[in-house]
Amino acid sequence: MLAPRSLPSSALLRTAVQAIKPSKQVAAPLASRSFTLWTRPTEKKKHWDAPPRPAIDASDMPLNPGPPPPENKIGVNAILKQNSESLDRHTTTIFSEFSLEGMTAVVTGGNRGLGLEMALAYVEAGAHVYVIDLPEEPCEEFRKVADHCHKLDRQIEYISADVTNKEEMNEAMPYILEHSGTNSLDICVACAGIMQTFPAIDYPIEEFRKVMEVNTMGVFITAQAAARVMYTQENVGGSIVLIGSMSGTVVNRDQQWVAYNTSKAAVLQMGRNLAAEWGPKNIRVNTVSPGYIRTNLVADQLDSDPEMLRRWSDANPLGRIGRPHELRGVMVWLASHASSFCNGADIIVTGGHTIW
């Protein structure tokens, strides 16, 4: 494997295309860019072209989707405006409203866990997906998903960048717009986050700041960088989803997560403010608040403390904690035209944990 070049500290960006094999990486420096591109050495990189979906006709959807199709193409009004003797095959169906064909999505914190689950859902829905995460090279979990996407003739790409570094994020977003092949940045999910456990009375101030820097400032820097690109896309706009937590609304019983909970409460209010400011530009901003889900953040803790898993499960009306794939549906909905009038909302996905 070739060693990466020395990079300026202001732009530690790396990209990896499709399935990346550690034993087969080759470095292909791009002119006037400060990061390194990895690609398959034995295969010519294909221009992204999503395979057809035979059951769905989305021919009325433009390449740069922009606002949802006009009213006469959707729902009851579309039917009423049709000639009673013929069926307009270009009327948008409910399935095509959820399609992400022709869109470009960015997911931070997508190297593994919930972020990778969301990224895969977007790929399967038709989007060209870029994952941004801190490690210089993606983990094995990401590589296996990239292999799967390659077999589907779709792309998921990896960029190494720090979400708390505004220079890196402000360089990454325009690069994605330029190289995506769709000429637009349509979806951005700010999912990168960390968690720590300390009793509040002894919480180290620097550790508290670290959580706020990643979970709150990192989310804002990501959203701001994406919105700056979306602002330039006249009549296109976009959808930004900030990943919060039920911990931003309720206190987790028996948990010492004051910094994490504070950071997520800030994200929920941030989402409402950004939705109000950016809505006139057709940029929708919503938040998603997952409940207890077996993610990488808590897996080790649950494995070492079966009693905690029992308590969390017993406290839920469904009698269990969530699975990462159970967020896929709501994430695709928020990214798609199916949620075109949803702005400034917090979607709570907890299995009912917060209804007590």
DSSP character at residue 44: P
Q: Are strands 35-38 and 13-17 parallel, antiparallel or unpaired?
A: parallel
Radius of gyration over every alpha carbon of the chain, rounded to an integer in angstroms: 21
Which one is catalytic: 73, 130, 264, 292?
264
The catalytically annotated residue of 130, 260, 281, 292 is: 260
At 260, phi and psi to the nearest 5?
-60, -50
User: How many degrees, rounded to 5, is the angle at CA 212 between CA 190 and CA 326?
Assistant: 40
Instruction: Write the CA distances from 50 to 6, 93, 103, 254, 313, integer angstroms.
Output: 35, 19, 11, 47, 40
Burial status of residue 251 (CB atoms within 10 A of its CB: 0-12, 13-18, 19 or more): exposed
Q: In whole angstroms, what is the distance from residue 78 CA to residue 64 CA? A: 22
Task: Extract the tokens encoding 23.
Answer: 């034993």
| Helices 140-151 and 113-124, packing angle to 10 deg | 10
Contact 125, 98 (CB under 8 A): yes
Q: Are 171 and 187 in contact (CB under 8 A)?
A: no
Active site residue 24: no
Strands 187-190 and 238-243, bridge-based pairing: parallel
Gap between the Cα atoms of 39 and 42, Å rounded = 9
Main-chain dihedrals φ then ψ at residue 133, nearest 5 degrees: -155, 170
Query: Do residues 51 and 59 touch, judged by C-beta distance below 8 A?
Result: no
Active site residue 260: yes
Please identify every residue annotated as catalytic. 260, 264
